[in-house]
Every structure is written in C-alpha cells, then in structure tokens.
Amino acid sequence: MKYRSLYDMIKYIQTGTNLHISVLFLGNYGNEMCKLPRRHEIHSGPVCTQYKAMKSGDKRCFWCRNLAVKKVLREKTSFGGYCINGIYEYMRPVLVGKDVACIIFIGNILNTETDNKRVKKIAGESPEILKSLEKEYTLPDCEIIGDLLETHVLLLLEKCTDKNAGTNPLVENIKNYIHSNLEFDINISYIAEFFHYNKLYIGRLFKKETGMSIKDYITLQRIERAKILLENSDENVIHISDKTGFNNVTYFNRMFKSIVGVTPTNYRKSKK
C-alpha cells in the first residue's frame, strides 16, 4: 500500500504508550483511508468510562468536550488543557484553506499531583485505572505527534480522494458524530450548527444518501444501542433509556416496541 491509513499511523504512534489518540472529521472532509474504529473517533479511556457511569457524568463530559471543540473551531489553533476529570488533552485543528477539516485529540495523560487527586476520586478502589494513564506527557511532546498526524492527514486527503467511492464524507461524518453522541440531546439543528451547514441542506443530503431523515436515523441507532445494552448488561430499563438519549422511559418503551415489535423488558427476556 502506497499510503498507510490514518488508523495504521495512530496504532504505530500509540505503541508502547498509554496515550489515546482520536480524530474528529468535519464537513465534507475524509475518505476511506481516514476511517477509524469508533473508539478513535472520540476520546475514550478507563477514567472516562468510569466517570460517564456516574450520575450525570456523561452529560458533563459532553459539555466539556464540546466547549473545547467550539474553542478550536473559533480560534483555529491548537492548545492543551485539563478536562473536568483532571485528564490532560491536546487538541490540534487540521486546516484546509480556511476550513477545519478535522480535529486531532491526544489525551489520557496525567501530569500533576493535583490531577492525581481528582482522578483518584473517580478511580475509587481501582488502581488499574490510574495505571492506564500516560504519565508526564508534556505539551511539546503532544506538538510533535500533532505535527506528524497533521502532515499525514493532509497527505491522505490530497492523495487518496479516489478511495472515497460510494460514500459522501459529510454524511459519514454526521453518522459518526451521531454514533458517538447517542446519549445526548442531539438533533438536526444542533448537528447543522456543529458542522456549519444549513439544516435544510444537510437534511436533504442525508435522506438522499441514507433513505431516512436524520431524526429517524438517530432514533434507530438509539434503539440499536439499547438492544445491545439489554442483551449484554443487567442495567434497568430506566437507566438504559437515559443512556441511549431518550430520557423519558415511557417514550422509550413506546418507540422500542414500535420498531422492534416487543417491549424492552420482553426483548431482554427473549434474549436471556
């Protein structure tokens, strides 16, 4: 293969470290060579998973991350900082002309004793969570990786456009964003604002490419996520409703039955 995929590059860089690298593509940018597994489209890690399991933790993470994303989109410059969990993360926008084609995230880093106290509170009695973090990785270290990844992304976007046959990058980026944020209150207006497109335009484009509206796609993906949770966990239906973005268990039950044909409780029984 003449050009290594973005995922290959990320795996190579992460080898021997506890870093977590993810890339969020925006607008009409991206191609087959830039596709990433779900966990590398958003920041994730043991500390994040533990925090999101706490009451309202997932919503606070969503707010914190999107605040940082908006800053990158507004200022179009890289920066590093601490999330509400005390984890250090570096963010680098990749520019094509005046557009932000994607944002590179380099995180899962623990740098100071102050962070250590905050993370210990989240980790509780799980020392393995602390061991899962990369220690003392500085801003200059992140800048070196950011330079390398930015160069590679720009090369893939320029040289591998022919790899994009049969897919629309904007639609794929919207779908990836939906999959990564199902538990939150997202809708077509929010998505249009996030991607800087007119909501009527992306609504028509999405339906043309997928055969369904963005609203219906979100609902269907939430139900699919709920099915997985019902099959593979013992969480109660109310909790699963909240984790899949419904927030109203009565509405969740009604939508689940209309799509799947049975209630969530009966679905779980049939799978057990």
Q: What is the pLDDT of residues 105-153, one digit of tens each?
A: 998 888 765 556 667 666 665 677 778 888 878 899 999 999 999 999 9
Predicted TM-score (pTM) of the model is 0.72
Burial of 263 (C-beta count, 10 Å sphere; 0-12/13-18/19+): middle
Q: Each residue of 89-109: pLDDT tens digit?
A: 999 999 999 889 999 999 888
Say if CB 106 and CB 145 are below 8 A apart: yes
Write down the H helix ranges in the chain. 6-14, 46-52, 57-75, 113-123, 127-131, 139-159, 169-180, 188-195, 199-210, 214-232, 237-243, 249-260, 264-271
| Spatial CB neighbours of 223, under 8 Å, sequence gap ≥ 6 | 244, 255, 256, 259, 260
Residues 199-242 pLDDT 10s: 898 999 999 999 999 999 999 999 999 999 999 988 899 989 98
d(CA 268, CA 264): 6
Tell me the CA distances in angstroms from 29 to 24, 149, 171, 199, 253, one per residue in order. 10, 15, 10, 18, 37
Q: Give the closest residue to 180 by CA, choosing from 40, 81, 69.
A: 40
Q: What confidence score (pLDDT) does residue 122 get?
A: 67
Rounded alpha-carbon distances, angstroms, from residue 168 to 39, 213, 217, 228 = 21, 16, 16, 28
Beta-sheet pairing, 134-135 with 99-110: parallel
Please give the Cα distance from 69 to 63 (Å, whole number): 10
CA angle 180, 236, 39 (to 5 degrees): 20
Query: Residue 253's pLDDT is what?
Result: 94
pLDDT category at 164 given cuts 50, 70, 90 is: very low
User: What 3-state DSSP class applies to 167?
Assistant: coil
Question: Among positive and negative, which fits the CA dihedral 195, 199, 202, 203?
Answer: positive
Please answer whether residues 72 and 64 qualify as being in contact, where contact means their C-beta atoms are separated by less than 8 angstroms: no
